[in-house]
Structure 1
Amino acid sequence: MLTSQRKSLILDMLRREGQVVAKRAAEEFSLSEDTIRRDLREMAAEGLLRRVHGGAMPIAPDLPDFSARRAVSSDVKQRLGRAAADMVKPGQTIFLDGGTSTAEIARALPRDFAFTVITHSPTIAAELERHPTADVILIGGKLYKHSMVATGAAAMNQIALMRPDIFFLGVTAAHPVRGLSTGDFEEAAIKRHIAACSAETITLVTEEKLDAVSPHVIMPVSALSGMIVQEGIDEERLASYRALGIALLEA
């Protein structure tokens, strides 16, 4: 088997299972563990995966600070934001997570009927300063500056009293086996709490976040009501998400 073929099989396993165990891969591909480990070392050097003891994990997405992420507003995120905003109905209460993708939702929210927005992000609240029909409830707490969201016990207690119709969740990574994840332990906890208080949870995922894993799990992908992904992603990559029974919208 050619090296390129072996590496392709390894990447397929990584996407499918969220990890590669060298011993299991060697058995499945009828190769020696030494060969698999050598391939994993080379692939890690090429930036294709992250070596761990006994195998490999997906590369965790980089976490640039909020100001850097806000400076990059792509057409893809705008399309995803518009698709999410179109889901909002008159009189609903929605919860907007922090982040640049949810900022695009805030900018695209309808202006011809009334609804309520809850957020624990002062930057999201500021986006809605001049919105003519949105009532805004801002949750307070300890500010996590990287994502500009309130965290901690005070925020959790306030959120426990809310029952949003839709929670638009921000994630740094989504994987069909490893779940939805983010880079901070406290932020993952509060995202999980908001989802538990909400009737529906929807997340927006750009291609680089798909089939990736960040250090702190929020919840399984199957706990979502739906996922909005950028159009043009291979159906083969989306099939494992559709199999979980969630609604997938391409935008």
Structure 2
Amino acid sequence: MLAAARKDLLLERLRRDGRIVAKEVAVELGLSEDSIRRDLRELDAAGLAVRVYGGALPASPAVADYTSRESVAPESKRRVAATAAAMIEPGATVILDGGTTTLAMVDALPKTLECTIITHSPTIAASLLDHAADVFLIGGRLFKHSAVACGAAAVEAAGTISADLFFLGVTGVHPTAGLTTGDPDEAAMKRALASRAAETYVLASAEKIGTASRYAVVPLDAVAGIITDGEPGSRTLSGLAAAGVPIVSADAHAR
């Protein structure tokens, strides 16, 4: 089998099964594990898979730059955002992560809602200018890929806050790889923010379900729930539910 055909087969297996075990595929195709691992390395380099011990997982399309992500799964993000926004009660203190789904949350929030919103995203902060909410912006080095503040200064500033809820954005949600993102500093900042909230909810639009990125954010058992409009019976959501992770379905009125 030619290398191109093998890679097509591997990508199909990733779509179908949500993971690849290099040893199993090598035995099935009568090839060496080295050949399969080489193919997986090349798929990883091309951004089509994420190599893990023993094989690979589907790569998340949500690691694209901020502008590109705005056009990815907009309706799914709107449904997830509307459900998340409805969870914010008057008087609550809420941390909003950066990203296009949290930006959709701001659109879904009533402008008259009186609450406190803390964010490390200047984009999110600016979008709240005409809202009644008090807004606190955490500063630091601007990570332009996601339009958020990261780095030591931002993590230190996060240590001084406290909140009722944190709405966490990730690029991948997978029952094996867990909650992941594409940059180590951004992952560290997300962990710092999660540690400052009583409850953390994950915003998981359709393109993130069943995929993975390079860097772990927080363990699955550290979140209060995953907000998604994904199919309840899907392989990924069934796996997460079996592991005891609460799944919050996007409300019907948000569809």
**TM-score after normalising by structure 1:** 0.81
Mean Cα displacement is larger for which, 203-212 or 70-79? Answer: 70-79
2:115 matches 1:118: no
CA gap 1:137/1:248 in 2 versus in 1, 3 angstroms: same
Corresponding residue number in structure 2 for 1:34: 31
Corresponding residue number in structure 2 for 1:216: 215
Quote the Cα distance in structure 1 between the aligned partners of 2:130 and 2:56.
48
Paired residues of 1:99 and 1:170 also in contact (CA < 8 A): yes
Q: How does 1:121-160 map to 2 (within 5 A)?
A: 121-132=121-132, 134-160=133-159
Structure 2 unaligned spans of 5+: 1-5, 251-255
Shift of 1:206: 1.8
Paired residues of 1:206 and 1:229 also in contact (CA < 8 A): yes
Corresponding residue number in structure 2 for 1:162: 161
CA gap 1:102/1:52 in 2 versus in 1, 3 angstroms: closer
| Superposition CA RMSD, Å | 3.3
Corresponding residue number in structure 1 for 2:253: none
2:64 matches 1:67: no
Corresponding residue number in structure 2 for 1:241: 240
Shift of 1:32: 6.3
Quote the Cα distance in structure 2 between the aligned partners of 1:209 and 1:236.
13
Quote the Cα distance in structure 2 between the aligned partners of 1:153 and 1:175.
28
Quote the Cα distance in structure 2 between the aligned partners of 1:79 and 1:54.
36
Q: How does 1:95-110 map to 2 (within 5 A)?
A: 95-110=95-110
Quote the Cα distance in structure 1 between the aligned partners of 2:244 and 2:53.
33
Paired residues of 2:171 and 2:182 also in contact (CA < 8 A): yes
Aligned-partner SS, 1:219: coil
Corresponding residue number in structure 2 for 1:193: 192
- Cα deviation per residue 1:221-240 (whole Å; 9 max; x = unaligned)? 22211111124464443111
Amino acid at match of 1:116: T
Quote the Cα distance in structure 2 between the aligned partners of 1:32 and 1:86.
50
Corresponding residue number in structure 1 for 2:173: 174
Corresponding residue number in structure 2 for 1:82: 82
Quote the Cα distance in structure 2 between the aligned partners of 1:51 and 1:141.
31
Identity value in percent: 41
**TM-score after normalising by structure 2:** 0.80
CA gap 1:215/1:7 in 2 versus in 1, 3 angstroms: closer
Shift of 1:112: 4.2
Aligned-partner SS, 2:163: coil
Paired residues of 2:205 and 2:230 also in contact (CA < 8 A): no
Amino acid at match of 2:86: D
Shift of 1:248: 1.1
Amino acid at match of 2:174: H
Paired residues of 1:207 and 1:233 also in contact (CA < 8 A): no
Amino acid at match of 2:219: P
CA gap 1:51/1:33 in 2 versus in 1, 3 angstroms: farther
2:196 matches 1:204: no
CA gap 1:236/1:64 in 2 versus in 1, 3 angstroms: closer
